[in-house]
Amino acid sequence: MSDHSPSGRPGQVTITLDGVPREVPGGRSLAAALIAIDEPVTRHDRAGRPRAAYCGMGVCFECTVTVDGAPLIRSCQEPVRAGMSVDTTGEEAR
């Protein structure tokens, strides 16, 4: 897949975030890309409170998401890439 979005903006890639196509900056971690588009919430705890990347080093697991069907991926350790499907709403993310 291309590292460019359909809009052709350099450095931008298109991912699917909770079923919605989104352009995010490429060349960084998924957590950083989500923060850059003002979508920092990566999961919700069992009480429904939003959670987001905290440590940025893969230690806290607050940034876990489901990527391309694989649960519990630490978004701060996952490079963003064009075409990836990211789910922050699944039961696995709680």
Return the CATH architecture of domain 12-87: Roll (3.10)
Report the 10 Å Cβ neighbour count for 2: 11
> How far is Cα 11 from Cα 63, in angstroms, rounded to an integer?
23
Report the 10 Å Cβ neighbour count for 54: 14
Domain boundaries, the chain: 12-87
- Residue at 40: amino acid letter: P
Model confidence over 66-94: pLDDT tens digits? 999 999 999 999 999 999 999 998 766 55
Q: Provide the pLDDT confidence category of residue 46 given band limits of 50, 70 and 90.
A: confident
Give the pLDDT confidence score for residue 3 in this predicted structure: 53
- Using a cut of 0.95, tell me whether the model's pTM lies above it: no
